[in-house]
Amino acid sequence: MSITTLLSGRTAKAPAAATTDVALDLRNVQKTYDTPGRPQVEAIRHLDFGIRRGELVCVVGPSGAGKTTLLRSIAGLLELTSGEVVLDGEVVVGPPEGMAVVFQEYGRSLFPWMTVRQNIELPLKEKGIAKAERRAKVDRALEEVGLTEASEQHPWQLSGGMQQRVAIARAIAFQPSVLLMDEPFAAVDAQTRAELEDLVRKLWKDLGVTVLFVTHDIDEAVYLGERVIVLSNRPTVLMEDVRVNLPADRDQLTTRSDPHFGELRGHVYELIQRAKRGDRPDAPAAPPAAASSPEEA
């Protein structure tokens, strides 16, 4: 799928206006795969949650819980079976203009024959933005991700972490209202991952963008997010919406050494283990145990 398609901008007016402080609203989202000749697969059973404007929210869940399906549905890349995703008060019916996506496979999303600058500039050019404005937006994006000196290099000349910075720069140069990130640091080493996590927190604060960050890493979710959305096993429902009440200023040493960080991490971990065992909030309640007779007492 081309960058133009991703950023083409297709939305429809929502039947009910969203509250002004809600950037992204999921309303009874359901997704079922119905392939002829194969059993129907219910990926997402029911999801309802909203993300306030300027909030950074992480999504975690067991492997196979449908995290990527959810993100692609939110991005308008997959058609919902029912329910709706509302972005800035408009129902998403295709890749919306106000949303950008950073995928895990950064190497596939960058064009190796283009320079770093050309890769970042491409979606702006396809949108018809004037040359001077494009240059200013690209310059700022390069500065934000620390790649100004690498602007004329090609992706294949850069490390994996630097390539992912290029992908992030391309997303923020477009100045989206919502930035979706699909396990973007899964393929980099631990040190680079920590640096990129801090970059995301910095960009979030500097740019005021709303971020939905999908990850399989519990520590990463707690470190980055203001909230952590924990998903059940498939068919997916919401296990818990965990508030991360850690200080706004975070760093890898101090924050991760905070006892409350450990408590939050342990709580999210336990939720995911419960989800793996099949626990889910929509499961029918177990019947009450039969009362003992006086003879048995």
Write the DSSP string, 63-98.
TTSSHHHHHHHHTTSS--SEEEEEETTEEESSS-TT
CA atoms within 13 A on the CB side of 11: 20
Scanning the chain, the segments in alpha helix (DSSP H) are: 3-6, 67-74, 106-109, 116-126, 131-145, 160-173, 190-207, 218-224, 252-257, 259-276
Return the higher-pLDDT residue of 8 and 170: 170
Q: Please report the pLDDT score of residue 16 as a whole number.
A: 43
Strand partners, 51: 24
In this prediction, residues 39-57 reach a mean pLDDT of 92
User: Which pTM value belongs to this model?
Assistant: 0.84
CA distances from 196 to 136, 185, 216, 279 (A): 23, 7, 16, 33
Strands 82-87 and 22-33: antiparallel
Cβ density class 6-15: b for 16+ within 10 Å, e for less: bbeeebeebe
In this prediction, residues 172-190 reach a mean pLDDT of 88
Return the higher-pLDDT residue of 174 and 1: 174
The domains located in the chain, with CATH, are 6-98+176-276 (3.40.50.300), 102-175 (no CATH)
Three-class secondary structure of residue 151 per DSSP: coil
pLDDT > 80? residue 108: no
Strands 22-33 and 178-182: unpaired
Encode pLDDT of 182-240 as tens digits.
Answer: 988 887 888 989 999 999 999 999 989 999 999 999 999 999 999 999 999 989 999 99
Nearest Cα to Cα of residue 141 among 118, 161, 158, 157: 118
In this prediction, residues 243-269 reach a mean pLDDT of 95
**Residue that is written with structure tokens 């999210």 in the block:** 268
Return the higher-pLDDT residue of 3 and 28: 28
pLDDT > 90? residue 127: no
In this prediction, residues 158-185 reach a mean pLDDT of 89
Token output for 51:
């993300």
